[in-house]
Amino acid sequence: MDYLPLFFKLTKQNVLLVGGGNVALRKARLLCRSGADVTVISHHVCEELQQLLDENNGLSITGEYHAGLLEGKILTIAATDDDDLNERVHYDSVERNIPVNVVDNPKLCTFVFPAIVDRSPVVIGISSGGSAPVLARLLRARLETWIPKSYGKLASIANHFRDRVKAKFSTVDQRRIFWENVLQGQIAEKVFTGREAEATQLIEEKIAHEDPDHQTGEVYLVGGGPGDPELLTFKALRLMQQADIVLYDALVSEAVLDLCRRDADLVFVGKKRDNHTVPQEGINELLVKHAQLGKRVVRLKGGDPFIFGRGGEELETLKANNIPFQVVPGITAASACSTYSGIPLTHRNYAQSVKFVTGQLKNRTTDLNFDELVHPNQTVVFYMGLHTLPTLSQKLIEHGKPGDTPAAIVSRGTSADQKVLTGTLETLSSLQEQAQLPAPALIIVGEVVSLHENLSWFGDEVIAQNLSPVKAEH
């Protein structure tokens, strides 16, 4: 580390700024924002700079720089285009142990200005040590979009309660857990959505009622999307990065899992077909147990947690145990597979509605209402239907859906090995018998499937061409 980042209190401190042009103006703005008393020395001071100084208790001296001006100053900035002068300012300052910055000349700087993300009182400084200021600025732009604007408000609210929290929670660990919960949980979310009064009220209650030895954590039920990490929401990512423990399903991709906080415990609780690793009740209990230990628990599910995800049941258990929770939507397989295969789920000419249906059939008999699924002008999407495809197709045809209705399987949607197999209700099962596309896979039935040929964009293989469609016998 070539520079140690420090934050300098400049309120009412005397700073010398050598130079009176635009570059000096930019530095003067920063100095004034931090409350410094700025003295500018230059042969000419531009109008805007003069105005800024007038408004901020500053002073401008028209004339020649001399070392005597450094008397009583605690920082010096040289912002002139005269190299000799800049060098003199540097040496004079160093001789007097005054930190000095010569703009755009890292060699003559004993301190540098970082790129700043200002969420006062929270301030982030990013520095490349003068070697690549543009890189630091690009990084700043990223942080600007990532850090909620109201972070500063959150800090002010926290400050307001600081002493009272210290009085109630006597150990550093108790306070850490308290503040982590406040600053990352439900209360912070309230501030971010502009409900500060509610947030303040919740902190009051937390201080009044919380048992310092048994602080309750929180559960985030997060939709991890179909696999491609770029399809996560910002909120999912933020919560994943503050997890103490992550309970995840088989459908959550490695790439998504990689984005969880480095030191979070990752626990697989996935279910594969006919092979239940942790029964649902066990998962519900685990969520409650870890939250009661004061942890921030992320329950990470493939796709969307409220679409064939049993998310509702998990929340009911949490609710019954008074555990606070948040739910973050994810991109569900139907959305992901449809967009990535170029099969719109609705279309003015082909489908005015879409149904998401489970293809899992209990005891090989079906509790689906097939009469409803055969209506024209609708798209039917089957989740978990790969193994029951022959039965599903047969039943749809029996109930009146034309056998030549286009149908597709989208396998491992959005991943690099996504594959799409298209055929008709009559042919799709036999095509799949030959193609053996792997799970997870989604089945789309309806006229919209015919658009795939034209709208496919994600570079998946066209598989059906090499297979011989055999009409199923019904």
**Structure tokens, 190:** 């309230």
Whole-angstrom Cα distance, residue 319 to residue 274?
29
| 119 and 151 Cβ atoms separated by less than 8 Å | yes
By the 10 Å C-beta count (0-12 exposed, 13-18 middle, 19+ buried), 261 is classed as: middle
**DSSP state string for 69-81:** GGTT-SEEEE--S
Task: Choose the stretch contacting ligand SAH; rule: CB under 6 A; options: 138-146, 148-156, 318-326, 410-418.
Answer: 410-418
Q: Is 460 a catalytic residue?
A: no
Contact between residue 405 and residue 424 where contact means Cβ atoms under 8 Å apart: yes
- The reply on whether position 304 binds ligand SAH by CB under 6 A is yes
Binding of ligand SAH by 441 (CB under 6 A): yes
| Kind plus residue range of the DSSP H or E element containing 116 | strand 115-119
Residue 383, interface with ligand SAH (CB under 6 A)? yes
Q: Is 22 helix (H, G, I), strand (E, B) or coil?
A: helix
Catalytic, 258? Answer: no
Question: Using the rule CB under 6 A, which residue among 384, 425, 445, 472 binds ligand SAH?
Answer: 384
Per CB under 6 A, contacts with ligand SAH among 196-235 are: 226-227
Of the pair 73, 412, the CB lying nearest ligand SAH is at 412
Tell me how far, at minimum, the Cβ of 330 lies from ligand SAH, in Å: 6
Q: Hey, how many other C-beta atoms are within 10 angstroms of the C-beta on 474?
A: 12
**Of the candidate residues 65, 192, 248, 308, the single one contacting ligand SAH (CB under 6 A):** 308
Q: Which stretch binds ligand SAH (CB under 6 A): 8-16, 123-131, 206-214, 302-310?
A: 302-310
Reported residue count of the chain is: 474
**Residue 54: how many CB atoms within 10 A of its CB?**
11
Under the binding rule (CB under 6 A), the answer on residue 36 touching ligand SAH is no
Closer to ligand SAH at the Cβ: 114 or 270? Answer: 270
Q: Decide whether 102 or 441 has the Cβ nearer to ligand SAH.
A: 441
Radius of gyration for the alpha carbons in the chain, expressed in angstroms and rounded: 31
Which one-letter amino acid corresponds to residue 6? L
Exposed / middle / buried, residue 260 (Cβ in 10 Å: 0-12, 13-18, 19+) = buried
Q: How far is the CB of 359 from ligand SAH (least distance, A)?
A: 7
Annotated catalytic residue: which of 168, 235, 271, 355?
Answer: 271
Phi, psi of 125 (to 5 degrees): -110, 135
438, two tokens: 């792997």
The answer to whether residues 169 and 175 touch, using CB atoms and an 8 Å cutoff, is: yes
Residues 314-353, one symbol each (x = binds ligand SAH by CB under 6 A, - = not), give ------------------xx---x----------------
Cβ contact 165:158 at 8 Å: no
Single out the residue of 16, 25, 32, 251 in contact with ligand SAH (rule: CB under 6 A).
251
Q: Which is nearer to ligand SAH, 114 or 227 (CB)?
A: 227
Angstrom CA distances, 73 to 103, 311, 322, stand at 18, 62, 58
Q: Of 126 and 384, which has the nearer Cβ to ligand SAH? A: 384
In the set 20, 58, 270, 303, which binds ligand SAH (CB under 6 A)? 303
Kindly name the residue from 249, 304, 395, 460 that is annotated as catalytic: 249
Contact between 270 and ligand SAH (CB under 6 A)?
no
Query: Which residues does the annotation mark as catalytic?
Result: 249, 271
- Contact set with ligand SAH (CB under 6 A): 226-227, 251, 301-304, 307-309, 332-333, 337, 383-384, 410, 412-414, 440-442
